[in-house]
Structure 1
């Protein structure tokens, strides 16, 4: 790890709000401690968090360094690539169109995109829109077929992505299992474009981002490899003992509607809070979204572009999380208004690192 990380600047709490009662009483701030551990023990260059309590009070935190080469501070609530948290935005757009009568959740892909989806063991006239959003379609994933260098620097059209995915066999017959596949959400994005006759980026901006005033969230246009506002740099390691590689500047098009968006921790919290409060979907579609299938024996469930996860203090929280080159985020909101999102600037090399990120989320929501 570079020297700049070894002398990490520690956690900085935003001064925009008053400290929590726990902090005021002199007790240790467990979120602060958790972020410090992600930097010092898990070796992640930076960690950022935004936490909102039941009373609507928000605190933003940072730990580590925003740029390993310079040792610069992490920008408070800086913009980051959000990876698969994009899927919840995509699902909301699809479900808004369901509410408008323009898409039927139980119609097949071929209803909207005839003859597009076909391959070894899968066919678009057997897979429904609901199965796409819930990862019960059996469509194979493409992510590991696209090498890092290609993925980071090449522009992909959505149908290029499907050509890669459809080299593989179906994971199972449609509706006969659950398997996470980015391919599902690329197809869902194409359905949105076919129905609306508009680019997906315009639809998500108009229907979600502008509607609830997310000022730091956007869907990058083709060729946009930068992050527009203040942001921590993102890093990758090609092997456990390899040096850090700066991957802040990439072409995210290989992720498209499965994972291309840029946002901040606080904007993700605002989005999920507005979603659960019924500000983005009619109650019928929100209820469909929150109807889950189990994810193995994890205790988590997957709905339509959103997950429920159990909390150590009881109950569940709703969110998604995402990984994309340089960034990993986890978080969600509870039905009583608590919200927390945590981002680190390198995808952990093993499951233990990701569990530690999720533990900080649990701490933030349960403290």
Structure 2
């Protein structure tokens, strides 16, 4: 089962203001968010769901549905910690763009300007790939995720990169868009080379501590636990198969592309702070919001910036976020702007990596909230 679990997870994971006391959503009130969460859960496939909605004044409402532990029937903890998967890319991109603002690198720099000779292979040349192309998934690098071991174990970033470089480039730099964790693996290495500190330390001091994300962290190498209250996360090998507890699952293979842990409310705070200019200078935030058309794993009409996704709303307009997928958990959400200012944010999580129908349902909850 462990081997089957790893094989499935390795191919599936690609995604994807001051805080007022959280208000409890009534189980009997006809609240559209609660209705949406209730529709997501299924005891045979999606045990639990949780969400957080924050308005422009920082008032937050939290929601839960289903159960947090199928073995005990325990409730889903309100605003519990989850693995946020590729939301980590937005954190990594923020650090890179801060370094751009500090003139420690440029978006036009080539990888070889900072990691000389590291990117070489069949159609791969670090002298031709830019920082911008890495941030926007336009490098053409092969995906290391496709070549991981069947048995999960703690990985080192250089080991992961070596696996990718054994394979041919998917296309020439800048020719196409293709979502790929290898891009953010290289960005993490560049951050470490420039700062002489780990990507975990840089995300912590430059983002987490700066805006007070009290429940967010980058797990230490080999740490498979979740530190605070959390729902159990589950893996299911196929529809109708047993749910397997995958809560304590080593995330090091995702590293700068997807290793982090957070809560829905902290994610709301992060994306709000990012979009209102508390983390980046205006020129770098504008660069982050320059987008190109994106396809899988994002919704129809989505566009990818520099570690930030622009998604259309059914009511008109767009929202900004990223989303993430990691063994045991799936997250969706973002922030809607009015006259350039964040006015509402929402993040939704479920306790499996679900099928497309549930992912679509999560997107519908996000759309419902942000269209109010």
Q: Would you call these one fold, judging by a TM-score over 0.5?
A: yes
Quote how far apart the aligned CAs of 1:52 are.
1.5
Structure 2: which 5+ runs fail to align?
Answer: 1-19
In the aligned structure 1, how far is the partner of 2:156 from the partner of 2:151? 13
Cα distance change, pair 42–278 in 1 and its aligned pair in 2 (3 A): farther
1:327 aligns with 2:333: no
Cα distance between partner residues in 1 of 2:137 and 2:73: 41
* Residue aligned with 1:210, SS: helix
Residues 147-204 of structure 1, C-alpha deviations (whole Å, 9 max, x = no match) = 5x533xx110001111112232211100000000000000000000000011111111
Given the alignment, which residue of 118, 121, 133 partners 2:120? 118
C-alpha distance in structure 1 between counterparts of 2:115 and 2:318, whole Å: 36
For residues 302-317 of structure 1, the aligned pairs below 5 Å read 302-317=304-319
Write the deviation string for residues 76-108 of structure 1: whole angstroms up to 9, x where unpaired: 000010000000000000000000010111010
| 1:18-70 C-alpha deviation (Å, 9 max, x unpaired) | 689xx8xx972111011001003983110010011344321100111111111
Partner of 2:356: 351
Q: Is the Cα–Cα contact under 8 Å of residues 235 and 327 in structure 1 kept in the other structure?
A: yes
Partner of 2:5: none
The structure 1 residue matched to 2:344, chosen from 335, 338, 343, is 338
Q: How does 1:28-107 map to 2 (within 5 A)?
A: 28-40=30-42, 43-107=45-109
* Residue in 1 that maps onto 2:14: none
Partner of 1:256 in structure 2?
255
Count of paired positions:
345
4+ runs deviating over 3 angstroms: 15-20, 40-43
Does 1:362 find its partner at 2:367? yes
Give the whole-Å Cα distance in 1 for the aligned partners of 2:207 and 2:58. Answer: 21
Within 5 Å, which residues of 2 pair with 1:155-304?
A: 155-296=154-295, 298-304=300-306
Is the CA contact (8 Å cut-off) linking 1:48 and 1:60 kept in structure 2? yes
Q: Flag structure 1 segments of 5+ consecutive residues without an equivalent.
A: 1-14
Contact 2:235 2:353 in 1 (8 A): yes
**Cα-Cα RMSD:** 1.8
Alignment partner of 1:190: what SS? Answer: helix
The answer for the alignment partner of 1:150 in structure 2 is: 151
